[in-house]
Amino acid sequence: MSIPQQGGGLIESRDQLAAYLESGCKPKADWRIGTEHEKFGFRLEDRKPLPYEGACSIRAMLEGLRDGFGWAELREGGNLIGLVKDGANVSLEPGGQLELSGAPLETIHQTCDEVNEHLREVKTVADRIGAGFIGLGAAPDWGPDEMPMMPKGRYRLMTDYMGRVGTHGTQMMYRTCTVQVNLDFSSEPDMVKKLRVALALQPVATALFANSPYFEGKRNGHLSWRSRIWRDLDAARTGTLPFVFEEGFGIERWVDYALDVPMYFVYRDGKYIDALGQSFRDFLDGRLPALPGEVPTLSDFADHLTTIFPEARLKKFIEMRGADGGPWRRICALPALWVGLIYDDAALDAAWELCKSWDAEAREAFRVDASVRGLKAEVAGRPALEIAREALAIAEAGLKARARPGAGGMLPDETHFLNALHEIVETGETPAEELIRRFEGEWAGDFGAMFRDCAY
């Protein structure tokens, strides 16, 4: 989850909120790619999740990265809780999932170099302390009582609140991992079109990257249990957002939506102040019970935007949020899919043509079906496999049109990063179905074998 924002000045009028989002508009030459991925750490000796403290721990991992690879530390309440370097940061999810939020980069070649270097650094430190890391969408056999809580005030507040507003919130926080990509837009109309495509086609990513068929030691009935969890987390801040597809949608409407999402906290002087369930609209008027008489800063609004969790979300960029965590090849495939779909005008038009006839009911049903059946799902009478095949063809054409070379010019474009997804479509077998096949076959029901074979 996000590192607290800093600065920005007091909000003197609501217009500043829209202006803040509008400031994300960039000319196409300045569009960048920011890839995020999370992974589960575990102790090799017993496959238990890494605690925060100890010789084999999250803190030891962060210290090793800091001391061995030039990362600068971030602390909260005296605790080491993150790292920064060259526009990237390493942060902690509530249960100790280690997240790399990559720097804004020009090409997917650079993104993959960044991911590869990060995983090399992580493995170097992990080998030294007796830890391992695995890329899955959900922890396959850990129970709630086994999970540590990272020493971040935000997570203490969220843990308390999740039980009041949904049934699966703490599962999301402590026992899931994702891979996401953040992408730019040039104007408000460009943002609207991209966000609509992102929300409508997010179930395609859910199906292609589905990688969480086991939970608490058994089959859970879904190929992406992580996606299932998000449906019963907090209806006020999740979902497929039908209003985005309404005529007249734009940045002002997103501001209205954000202001109606109940708050979690306000960050002041290195501490998270409990504002659970309170209104950012009241905060604008100086009537927030948590800070009576105070008005927010733009950094407070930026923090609040990080507590909104739809399938795709708007900040000063668009964040794609539908995919399970996975191995190295699929980390690189996710930005390739979305960059191919929305960074070329012809591809974006084709992607919108693919999904524009779906209504809100169809989009939500597709979201649900994709989490359960992956590529066997259907939308508007068409199989997800067929939609995925078309989406991949559009993405490939979009990447060819971008023509961003790599490997010193030996690679003409970024299309090869889609190979992992082409293999999934060609076989019709999602990563989750491969896990099931191997778990029930060569691994003989042994989660230890799953961890060994799927570790980074």
Q: Under DSSP, is residue 345 helix (H, G, I), strand (E, B) or coil?
A: helix
Sequence-distant (6+) residues with CB within 8 A of 80 are 59, 62, 63, 66, 73, 74
Confidence band (pLDDT; 50, 70, 90) for 163? Answer: confident
The answer, as to whether pTM is greater than 0.85, is: yes
Residue indicated by tokens 């809780």 = 81
> Average pLDDT, stretch 170-194?
98
Tell me the two tokens of residue 248: 């007249």
Confidence band (pLDDT; 50, 70, 90) for 378? Answer: very high
**H-type helices in 289-409, by residue range?**
298-305, 328-342, 345-355, 360-373, 384-402
Judge whether residue 7 has pLDDT over 90.
no
Confidence band (pLDDT; 50, 70, 90) for 8? Answer: confident
Element (DSSP H or E) covering residue 72: strand 72-76
pLDDT digits (tens, 9 = 90+) for 89-144: 999 999 999 999 999 999 999 999 999 999 999 999 999 999 999 999 999 999 99
Q: Please, are residues 336 and 414 in contact by the beta-carbon 8 Å criterion? A: yes
* DSSP character at residue 322: E
> Average pLDDT, stretch 193-197?
99
Neighbours of 133 (CB within 10 A): 20
pLDDT digits (tens, 9 = 90+) for 198-233: 999 999 999 999 999 999 999 999 999 999 999 999
Backbone angles phi, psi at 376, to 5 degrees: -90, -5
pLDDT digits (tens, 9 = 90+) for 269-294: 889 999 999 999 999 999 999 999 99
pLDDT digits (tens, 9 = 90+) for 347-375: 999 999 999 999 999 999 999 999 999 99
**DSSP line for 101-128:** E---BS-HHHHHHHHHHHHHHHHHHHHH
